[in-house]
Structure 1
Amino acid sequence: MPAAITAEERERDRRSLLDAAETLMYGKGIQAVGMDEICRSSGLSLKRVYALYGSKDDLVAAMLRRRDIRWRSNLAAHVERVADPRERVLAVFDWLRVWFAEPGFRGCAWINAHGELGASSAAVLAEVRTHKSAFHDQLAGWVSAVRPAAVEGVYLLAEGAMVAAGISGTPDAAAEARRAAEVLLSTRS
């Protein structure tokens, strides 16, 4: 009888699996990556993978959930180093520009996942909506300190920049969105 898997081994396997899934699925697309490829990359058997996550959709949702925590934490760390509330909002677009310029940038993982599976996977759709809502709320906190009426416009500028950068393959959309955000933050209504 095989030895029981420890909590530490389970966590190590989960981390390895999520690392492999994120690298492959973000790099190639969710539907383009098969479970066999994820198994090879993670070093785990198919049986072990399905013991950790009951379906590919569950794995995708877990990968998106973990990426959300890291993504929003990195954004917050960058933005919250800035003292001035107006400059904090603009720092969001500076951070986006750096992200868009990273090697291997393929657009927003949540927008991509929604495009591939949003209509067919309730688990993935829930993660996409949770992330977008959390990002909206995070951004709203910073924008509200400057001009509450600009929250929705600034959010749409950030989201639009993500889509444009993912399609164009250049970080230029972040600078354009930043300039538009400056106008929204300065407008009096």
Structure 2
Amino acid sequence: MSDTDVREQIVRAADGLFYSQGIGAVGMDAVRDAAGVSLKTIYKQFPSKEQLVLGVLAHRHQLWTSGIDGAVARADTPRDRLLAVYDHLANWFDEDDFRGCGFINTFGELGATSPAVALAVRDHKLSFQAYVDRLVADAGGPAELGPQLAILAEGAQTTAAILGTSESAGVARQAAATLIDAAF
């Protein structure tokens, strides 16, 4: 198995554990057991738990980007592409293991004590904001619409996690449709 494969195996195992239990509650022994590799192998790939968390965040960013890209690509009109973000959220919120946004969860646990983690989370959120801004620009909408739509998506994620229901995706989608219609 290549170093890349081993690294991916460790990240996926850690991601599942961190997302379901929280980062602080998961020790490196649990990651070792879930990944099926030695601690020496883990620390060769990730010299610290913080580095492993950053690896997991990079993995989650890729999953998020792929999911949003896929949803948007399936939409036919500029308006539908903007609303596809909320359709993606609705599907995600209905997954059995949904526990909120992994970036928000990680920031809540480590953002105050790890500048590197805080930066990675901010970069992810800024990337999403820029993505929505591009969708709005491609649709010919006003620049202020992008941040409005992005904050609706962010709020829906938090609300869904806290309430344990996917309804916030539909509410956010309805609000987004109202904002989009008013902007155009």
TM-score of the superposition, structure 1-length normalised?
A: 0.92
CA contact (8 A) 2:145 2:183 kept: no
Q: Which moved more, 1:113-122 or 1:138-147?
A: 138-147
**Which amino acid letter does the alignment assign opposite residue 141 of structure 2?**
R
Provide the rounded CA distance (Å) in 1 between the counterparts of 2:70 and 2:88. Answer: 10
**Which amino acid letter does the alignment assign opposite residue 102 of structure 1?**
E
Provide the rounded CA distance (Å) in 2 between the counterparts of 1:43 and 1:94. Answer: 36
**Which residue pairs with 1:118 in the alignment?**
111
1:167 matched to 2:162? The reply is yes
1:34 matched to 2:41? The reply is no
Superposition deviation, residue 161 in structure 1: 0.3
Provide the rounded CA distance (Å) in 2 between the counterparts of 1:132 and 1:87. Answer: 22
Larger Rg belongs to: 1
CA contact (8 A) 1:79 1:88 kept: yes
Provide the rounded CA distance (Å) in 2 between the counterparts of 1:146 and 1:156. Answer: 20
Superposition deviation, residue 143 in structure 1: 2.1
CA contact (8 A) 1:161 1:173 kept: yes
1:87 matched to 2:62? The reply is no
**Which amino acid letter does the alignment assign opposite residue 184 of structure 1?**
L
**Which residue pairs with 2:40 in the alignment?**
47
Tell me how many residue pairs correspond in the alignment. Answer: 182
CA contact (8 A) 1:24 1:33 kept: yes
**Which residue pairs with 1:5 in the alignment?**
none
RMSD over aligned Cα atoms:
1.3
**Which residue pairs with 2:64 in the alignment?**
71
Superposition deviation, residue 114 in structure 1: 0.3
Structure 1 segments of 4+ aligned residues over 4 angstroms from their partners? none
- Please list the CA deviations of residues 69-121 of structure 1 after superposition, one character each: whole Å capped at 9, or x if unmatched: 12111211111221210111111101100000101100000000000001111
Provide the rounded CA distance (Å) in 1 between the counterparts of 2:183 and 2:150. Answer: 18
Identity of aligned residues (%): 41
- Please list the CA deviations of residues 111-165 of structure 1 after superposition, one character each: whole Å capped at 9, or x if unmatched: 0000000111122112101111111111111123242231111111000001101
Q: Which of residues 149, 155, 160 is equivalent to 1:154?
A: 149
Flag structure 2 segments of 5+ consecutive residues without an equivalent.
Answer: none
Provide the rounded CA distance (Å) in 2 between the counterparts of 1:141 and 1:178. Answer: 18
Query: What SS is found at the alignment partner of 2:108?
Result: helix
- Please list the CA deviations of residues 23-68 of structure 1 after superposition, one character each: whole Å capped at 9, or x if unmatched: 1000111111011100111111112111111110110011111110
TM-score of the superposition, structure 2-length normalised?
A: 0.94
Query: What SS is found at the alignment partner of 1:187?
Result: helix
CA contact (8 A) 1:75 1:92 kept: yes
